[in-house]
Each structure stands twice: as structure tokens, then as C-alpha cells.
A = this chain, B = another copy of it.
Amino acid sequence: MTGLPMVVSAANLPARVRIHEVGARDGLQNEKTTVPTEVKAEFVRRLADAGLTTIEATSFVHPKWVPQLADAEQLFPLIADLRGVHLPVLVPNERGLDRALSLSATRVAVFASATESFAKANLNRTVDEALAMFEPVLARAKAEGVHVRGYLSMCFGDPWEGEVPVPQVVRVCKALLDMGCDELSLGDTIGVATPGHVTALLTALEEAGIPAAAVGVHFHDTYGQALANTYAALEHGVTTIDASAGGLGGCPYAKSATGNLATEDLVWMLQGLGIDTGVDLGRLVATSAWMAGQLGRPSPSRTVRALSHKEQ
């Protein structure tokens, strides 16, 4: 084999998918090892070199909450010269937006919750109080011409509340779009979703006037469902898919590997389906194998393990 899957298209799938790469932010913030700033910069550059065009770079959250990304101010200038690549950054509030704008970030993301329990645990606010907190962030971002992504966590299940009713998710999605979000990312934060649930949520959103083109999907592999859920989302017309290079953020040795979908496993499927991503899988695998070395442990991505094994 050449290290690439045989290409056999399937009917009614998108011709092209945009991968929203979250490894440098969502991945690294969940790793135990804190990576030096220059390694992060090289990581982002290598991801761009592998053909990824949207690379979430870091988070302007208080270092107390996410010490792994405390170097956002130092990192961002090291990569801001990358051309042809979007480098969104997470901003939790107006203070975070200030920091991002001072470094001329052109894309930011806010992080909302579909459930009261997680809003309370993560933001110490109700769902609506969190939305209210984002309103001035959105208003200023829009005034500055900055693109805003709205993350919505716990869209399928919640560790405290269990099943999350679809209408509840639709309501918060509408609120985020109404206040100016340019796109949404529907998060299965605890990885419990299955394909029928994905289809049901996307259908309900469409019925509420939110087309598949306005939403990205963000699946976790806690129960191994991320790629099957992605396939269901593709069948529904979703063209933005979040993934984490090398499966960063999910420790392969942890009993509960709650990591993001690995970008390489996603690219393998998309390439096999003949869906264009612009990504060079070999370069991406080499980058993730290199980062696994930096972290001192194997990658949880099955494709990374299979292909880096081949090269040896």
C-alpha cells in the first residue's frame, strides 16, 4: 500500500471539507506536558505546511485556568506571518478579546454551553448569563471585522444532566447566530453521541433555519464514535469538521481516553471518499509523530501509529 486509501466516492457527500484543526489549542490545553512556545510555533507551521488552512492557535484565557496556553502573547507573533492560513484564537470574554485584538488576530472563538450544569461548572454562569457575557465580545469583534466562531459544548450529552434535549441545543445555537457568530461548532464534549442523534440535531437545526453550512461538528472519541458521527454529518451536508492532529488531548494510556477525533483518521476517511481537504496526509502524520515525541508518548491516532510504523 502507498499509505493512502483507495478512493471510492459515495453518493451525496460534499466535494470539499474544511478541517478546523484544534490540536494546538484544544489538544495541547488538555495535555499534561506543557510544550515550549517555540515547539508550539513549529507545530502550527508544520500543520500549515501539511495543508491545513484553519489552525486554532491558542487561547487568551487567564493562565490560571489553562496554564498550558499561558504563552499566547508570546506564541501568536511567532506564527502571525503565516499566509493563506486562518489562525483563530479562543477568547473567553472582553479581556481576552482585547488581548487577541492587540495582536491583530482576525478570527476568534467563544465557548458557550448547551447545558446549565456545564455553564455553571465551566463558566460559573447560567447559559443565558454566559450568552450575555458574549454579547459585547461579539459586538466589538464584528465592529473590528473579526470573524467569530461559537463553540457550543454538551450538545448531545452532559455528565450531570444526561441526555440533552435537541430543542435546548437549537435555542442556544440560534442565540449565538443572532448575536453575530459567523459559524458554530457543535461539540459532543463527552463523546456519547451516535449517528442518529447527530442527524436528528442537524435536522432540527435546519428546520429552525440553520443550514448545515453554518455549523461545524466537533466529536470526541470517548466511546470510539467520532468518525461514524462524522460520516453521518457529512451525509447531512456538513462541510466543517473539527479535529486534533495526532488526536492531541487524548492520552493513549489514560483509562478514559476522551480525546478529540484525530485529524489523520479523519483525513484517511475523507481521502478514501474522494473528498478534497487540501491536506498532505504523509506530512501531517510526520508532524504528529514529531509532536508525540515532544510529548514523550505515542499518538492516540490509529492512522499516525499505522503509518509511522510503516516508515520505520
> Is the beta-carbon distance between B1 and A162 smaller than 8 angstroms?
yes
Q: How many angstroms from the CA of A257 to the CA of B247 in the assembled complex?
A: 15
Instruction: From known contacts A227-B224, A228-B230, infer whether A8 and B306 are also in contact, taking CB-CB under 8 Å.
Output: no
Q: How long is the Cα–Cα vector from A273 to B192 in the complex, in angstroms?
A: 12
A302 and B232: CB pair below 8 A?
A: no
Which A199-247 residues have a C-beta within 8 angstroms of B? 199-200, 221-225, 227-228, 230-232
Contact, CB under 8 Å: A193 / B223 = no
Contact status A306-B222, CB under 8 Å: yes
Q: Kindly provide the distance from the CB of A282 to the nearest chain B CB, expressed in whole angstroms.
A: 14
Q: How far is the CA of A303 from the CA of B221 in the complex (A)?
A: 9
Chain A positions 246-270 with a Cβ under 8 Å from a chain B Cβ:
252-258, 262, 265, 268-269
Residues in B with CB closer than 8 Å to A8 are 194, 196-197, 199-200
Known contacts A194-B273, A228-B269; A255 and B298 CB within 8 A of each other: yes
Q: Mark A1-37, 1 if CB is under 8 A from B, else 0.
A: 1100111111001000000000000000000000000
The proximity string for A residues 155-180 relative to B, scoring 1 for CB distances below 8 Å and 0 otherwise, is 01111001100000000000000000
Is A125 in the interface zone, CB < 8 Å from B? Answer: no
Q: List 29 A-B contacts (CB under 8 A).
A: A1-B157, A1-B159, A1-B190, A2-B162, A5-B193, A6-B157, A6-B162, A6-B163, A6-B194, A9-B196, A10-B232, A13-B196, A191-B306, A196-B272, A196-B274, A221-B302, A223-B265, A223-B268, A223-B303, A224-B262, A224-B265, A224-B301, A224-B302, A225-B269, A231-B232, A253-B298, A255-B305, A255-B306, A255-B312
